[in-house]
Copies of this chain bind each other. A is one copy, B any other.
Amino acid sequence: MAVYTEVPDDDLLAFVDEYDIGRVVSCKGIAEGVENSNYLLKTDRGTYILTLYEKRVAEEDLPYFLELLEHLAGHGIPCPVPVHGRDGRVLRRLRERPAAVVTFLSGLPVRRASPAHCRQLGAWLAELHRAGLDFPRERPNALSVGAWRPLFEACPAEGVESLRRGLSVELAGELDLLEANWPTDLPRGVIHGDLFPDNVFFHRGRLSGMIDFYFACNDFLAYDVGVCLNAWCFEPDRSFNVTKARSLLNGYRRVRELSDAEIEALPLLARGAAVRFLLTRMYDWLNYRADAMVKLKDPLEYLQKLRFHRGVVDPAGYLAL
Contacts and interface: CB of A to CB of B under 8 A. Distances in A.
A9 B113 CA distance: 11
Interface residues of A, number: 36
A107 B32 contact: no
Contacts of A291: 290
Contacts of A111: 8-11
Of residues A23, A108, A201, which shows the largest number of chain B Cβ atoms within 10 Å of its Cβ? A108
A201 B28 CA distance: 12
21 contacts: A1-B293, A8-B111, A8-B112, A9-B108, A9-B109, A9-B110, A10-B111, A10-B112, A11-B111, A25-B106, A25-B107, A26-B106, A26-B107, A27-B108, A28-B28, A29-B32, A30-B31, A40-B40, A290-B290, A290-B291, A293-B293
Top 9 nearest A-B pairs by Cβ distance?
Answer: A290-B290, A8-B111, A29-B31, A28-B30, A9-B108, A3-B31, A25-B106, A293-B293, A9-B110
Interface of A: 1, 3, 8-12, 23-32, 40, 42, 47, 104-112, 201-204, 290-291, 293
